[in-house]
């Protein structure tokens, strides 16, 4: 793309332009659609496409040239892309499918109904369809499910010149190949070695591939779990890693680019989980029923946990009746302990992901957290205690509220720090399960501490 096109990305389209786009879609004006979208930056394109109705989005993909439709699918959020793609006619979808890279083909088909996918593959030339079907057999959280099949494999016995000649003869085909390596295979198709393009460039033309390849290349099994893949790409600096089957046959290549994207998706999902969007990404263009029910599933668990925690308060109605001011402090203590505990959760999640802590090292976490909890608890308790004292002119109320918050802060940070380790040990995702478990326990404990201390000191509070 020319620099002048890159400049365009600076201007933001007015809010109403997508309505014009909707009009062109209605009138099936493919040239106008393409001309309009092509002069937008990627961000603006995604925005405008997102604002169309689901039907219009799908119609648009069917109207533009299949190659451009494939470009748009690669840019769109995956959920929107799959939805729009599924609503195309199978032959139209098949045309677009052929323009995508092998890993994008598999990913797209994985996110639509199996019957729709099969119908589309029936309209795809058999060679391409077989390749996609092969990829679909791998689960999407394995190396095989994320690899590309556009790689260059040559017999190790051939000469460097031979390989370069072949590449020259097939420039068009290989132009799309993102891999920066040539893979050498033996007669059975097993991976024998890897030749970086640079080595190929610098090697004498009459040398054999075998003589200039890396003999024991880093590789990954197609059925390796994606977390293993992440570790591998952390450990080595390669731009791509070959993927082999159980019998060592070369079956694909994993690009760092794709692995990085996957990891970023995972990090974003964890952030969403931390904020209570669980069970899949939500976009506001989704049907209200889906959005509402997914959120409710999470909220229903929360309300049960909340009611359980608050029922502790019900046990102390008499104390509350006697010192009604306590009712003001209960939500404060609940929220503050939740905040303190969540900070501790964040540090444990980070240390777990960096490998600085192992799931069984909860003693170390508690030792470290209890000191921070004690300091912060005393400071926060003092602030709240003084406020309570000044408000009601009651030292006793200040002491009750302050000491309860101080103690509960210690409890919250210790539990917050160790819950992620425990959840990981039990084999669950610590980012997902830590939040509600933590706040329930700290709420119960906070309400109990405040109200039981108040009950014990009741004579001083009333006096």
Shortest distance (Å) from residue 359 CB to a second copy: 11
Q: Which of 12, 139, 161, 206 binds a second copy (CB under 8 A)?
A: 12
Using CB under 8 A as the criterion, what x/- string covers residues 386-425 for binding a second copy? -x---x----------------------------------
Binding flag, residue 291, a second copy (CB under 8 A): yes
- Give, as ranges, the residues between 187 and 226 that touch a second copy (CB under 8 A): 197-198, 200-202, 216, 218-219
Q: Describe the chain by its helix, strand, coil percentages, rounded to 5.
A: 70, 10, 25
Which is closer to a second copy, CB of 1 or CB of 127? Answer: 1
Please state, as a whole number, how many other Cβ atoms lie within 10 Å of the Cβ of residue 64: 20
CA 337 to chain centre: 28
Q: Are strands 250-255 and 220-221 parallel, antiparallel or unpaired?
A: unpaired
Q: Which stretch binds a second copy (CB under 8 A): 28-36, 87-95, 105-113, 365-373?
A: 365-373
Q: Which of 306, 389, 429, 460 binds a second copy (CB under 8 A)?
A: 306
Binding flag, residue 53, a second copy (CB under 8 A): no
Q: Which of 32, 119, 153, 332 binds a second copy (CB under 8 A)?
A: 332
- Residue 213: which of 159, 148, 257 has the closest Cα? 159
| Size of residue set near a second copy by CB under 8 A | 126
* Interatomic CA distance for residues 200 and 222, integer angstroms: 27
* Interatomic CA distance for residues 323 and 460, integer angstroms: 11
Count how many Cα atoms sit within 13 Å of the Cα of residue 298 in the half-sphere of its side chain: 18
- Residue 396: which of 323, 445, 335 has the closest Cα? 323
Count how many Cα atoms sit within 13 Å of the Cα of residue 409 in the half-sphere of its side chain: 24
Q: Is 53 exposed, middle or buried (0-12, 13-18, 19+ CB in 10 A)?
A: exposed
- Give, as ranges, the residues between 123 and 142 that touch a second copy (CB under 8 A): none
Q: Which of 31, 35, 55, 236 binds a second copy (CB under 8 A)?
A: 236
Binding flag, residue 462, a second copy (CB under 8 A): no
70 three-state secondary structure: helix
- Residue 57: which of 49, 65, 46 has the closest Cα? 49
Residue whose structure tokens are 């709420």: 443
Shortest distance (Å) from residue 91 CB to a second copy: 28
Shortest distance (Å) from residue 112 CB to a second copy: 20
Which is closer to a second copy, CB of 29 or CB of 281? Answer: 281
Q: Which of 35, 190, 299, 462 binds a second copy (CB under 8 A)?
A: 299
Q: Which of 24, 183, 329, 362 binds a second copy (CB under 8 A)?
A: 329
| Residue 377 · residue 407 · CB < 8 Å | yes
Which is closer to a second copy, CB of 27 or CB of 358? Answer: 358
- Give, as ranges, the residues between 255 and 284 that touch a second copy (CB under 8 A): 256-257, 260-261, 263-264, 267-268, 270-272, 274-277, 281-284
Shortest distance (Å) from residue 214 CB to a second copy: 11
| Residue 424 · residue 352 · CB < 8 Å | yes
Helix (H) or strand (E) holding 244: strand 240-244
Which is closer to a second copy, CB of 15 or CB of 122? Answer: 15
Shortest distance (Å) from residue 137 CB to a second copy: 25
| Residue 151 · residue 104 · CB < 8 Å | no
- Give, as ranges, the residues between 59 and 78 that touch a second copy (CB under 8 A): 77
Please state, as a whole number, how many other Cβ atoms lie within 10 Å of the Cβ of residue 426: 10
Shortest distance (Å) from residue 97 CB to a second copy: 19
CA 238 to chain centre: 23
């Amino acid at each position: 793309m020319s620099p002048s096109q890159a400049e365009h990305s600076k201007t933001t389209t007015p809010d109403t332009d997508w309505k014009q786009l909707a009009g062109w879609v209605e009138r099936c004006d493919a040239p106008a659609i393409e001309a309009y979208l092509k002069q937008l930056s990627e961000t603006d394109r995604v925005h405008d496409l997102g604002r169309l109705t689901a039907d219009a989005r799908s119609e648009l993909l069917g109207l533009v040239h299949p190659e451009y439709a494939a470009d748009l699918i690669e840019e769109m959020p995956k959920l929107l892309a799959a939805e729009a793609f599924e609503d195309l006619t199978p032959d139209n979808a098949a045309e677009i499918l052929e323009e995508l890279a092998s890993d994008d083909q598999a990913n797209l088909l994985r996110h639509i109904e199996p019957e729709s996918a099969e119908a589309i593959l029936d309209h795809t030339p058999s060679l391409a369809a077989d390749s996609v079907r092969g990829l679909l057999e791998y689960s999407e959280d394995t190396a095989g499910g994320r690899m590309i099949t556009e790689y260059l494999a040559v017999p190790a016995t051939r000469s460097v010149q031979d390989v370069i000649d072949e590449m020259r003869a097939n420039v068009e085909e290989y132009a799309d190949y993102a891999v920066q390596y040539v893979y050498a295979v033996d007669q059975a198709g097993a991976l024998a070695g890897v030749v970086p393009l640079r080595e190929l460039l610098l090697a004498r033309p009459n040398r054999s591939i075998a003589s200039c390849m890396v003999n024991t290349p880093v590789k990954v099994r197609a059925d390796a779990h994606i977390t293993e893949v992440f570790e591998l790409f952390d450990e080595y600096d390669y731009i791509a890693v070959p993927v082999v089957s159980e019998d060592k046959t070369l079956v694909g290549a994993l690009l760092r680019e794709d692995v990085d994207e996957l990891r970023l998706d995972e990090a974003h999902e964890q952030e969403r989980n931390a904020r209570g969007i669980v069970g899949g990404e939500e976009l506001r263009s989704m049907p209200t029923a889906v959005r509402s029910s997914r959120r409710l599933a999470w909220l229903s668990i929360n309300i049960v946990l909340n009611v359980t925690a608050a029922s502790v308060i019900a046990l102390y109605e008499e104390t509350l009746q006697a010192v009604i001011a306590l009712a003001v402090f209960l939500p404060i203590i609940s929220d503050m302990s939740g905040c303190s505990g969540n900070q501790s959760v964040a540090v444990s999640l980070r240390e777990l992901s960096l490998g600085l802590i192992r799931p069984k090292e909860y003693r170390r976490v508690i030792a470290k957290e209890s000191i921070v909890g004690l300091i912060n608890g005393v400071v926060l308790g003092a602030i709240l205690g003084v406020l309570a004292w000044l408000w009601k002119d009651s030292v006793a109320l200040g002491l009750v509220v302050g000491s309860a918050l101080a103690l509960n802060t210690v409890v919250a940070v210790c539990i917050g720090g160790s819950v992620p380790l425990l959840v990981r040990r039990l084999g669950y995702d610590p980012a997902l399960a830590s939040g509600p478990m933590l706040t329930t326990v700290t709420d119960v404990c906070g309400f109990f501490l405040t109200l039981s201390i108040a009950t014990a000191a009741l004579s001083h509070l009333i006096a």
